[in-house]
Amino acid sequence: MLVPEVAGRAAEETAAVRRACRHAVRAMLAAGPEVVVVVGSGVPGGVRYGAGDVGDLRGYGVEREIPFSGPARPDGRRPPLAHTLGAWLLDEAGHAGTRLGVGPADLPDALAALSGVIGVLAMGDGSARRTVKAPGYLHPAGEPFDNAVAAALEAGDPNALAALDPTDEQRLLAAGVPTWRAVGAALAGRRFAARLHAHEAPYGVGYLVADWSVP
């Protein structure tokens, strides 16, 4: 729903979330990262995405390809949706630098192999069970779960993210759980200056947008 072509007539209803994403990504890029690591679910173990790989939105009724990084290669791989949307957000912010796409399990190794200023773009939804019309129907724990994640994001508290219950990914249809847990674990023990830009649930799905920076 972030991409206007996919949202269609609903684009106006998700405009605030897009603005929040734009502010958060630009804040991350303002630090001048030498590489942006895009982390999200759906990546086979050990696979990394980079130059020449191209995602698409055909599964959502839109004939559009989105290069993950640089020009497409004929033999380029297809990144999953999280990384395709991450690339779209970076493109929208004017980022033309180095990008690396990984899954949650491979995030620690990816960060350990990098040096200098690093940006991390963590992609994942909150609960898709926030209302009776949500994709997963209403679950009473959906909103409290998203509230807890929002509190952790607003506080810049990686330990709280690392402690999220992994079973909530399926129970509450919260696709962001593996990514948030991985980012929290990778940054555990540190504190960040944090800003929560959005905490909304259009169409019953939690959208939480924040940026963290080293004080």
Convert the pLDDT of each residue in 143-165 to its tens digit.
999 999 999 999 999 999 999 99
Position 1 scores a pLDDT of: 76
Single-letter code of the amino acid located at 147: N
Convert the pLDDT of each residue in 61-108 to its tens digit.
899 999 999 999 988 999 999 999 999 999 999 999 999 999 999 999
For the entire predicted model, the pTM comes to 0.95
Position 87 scores a pLDDT of: 97
Alpha-carbon gap, residue 83 to 102, rounded angstroms? 8
Single-letter code of the amino acid located at 16: A
- The residues, ordered by sequence, that sit 6+ positions from 78 with a Cβ below 8 Å of its Cβ are 53, 54, 55, 56
State how far Cα 101 lies from the chain centre: 11
Alpha-carbon gap, residue 164 to 104, rounded angstroms? 14
Alpha-carbon gap, residue 14 to 24, rounded angstroms? 16
Both tokens assigned to 191: 């504190």
Q: Is 10 helix (H, G, I), strand (E, B) or coil?
A: helix
Q: Is 87 helix (H, G, I), strand (E, B) or coil?
A: helix
Position 68 scores a pLDDT of: 97
Angle (CA) 126-132-136 rounded to 5° is: 50
User: Average pLDDT in the 190-199 region?
Assistant: 95
Residue 4 banded pLDDT, cuts 50, 70, 90: confident
Convert the pLDDT of each residue in 167-188 to its tens digit.
999 999 999 999 999 999 999 9
- The residues, ordered by sequence, that sit 6+ positions from 154 with a Cβ below 8 Å of its Cβ are 194, 195, 196, 210
Position 108 scores a pLDDT of: 96
pLDDT surpassing 80 at residue 9: no
Q: Is 69 helix (H, G, I), strand (E, B) or coil?
A: coil
Position 6 scores a pLDDT of: 84
Residue 71 gets which letter from DSSP? S
pLDDT surpassing 80 at residue 10: no
Q: What percent of the chain stands above pLDDT 70?
A: 100
Say how many Å lie between the first and final Cα of the chain, rounded: 33
State how far Cα 209 lies from the chain centre: 9
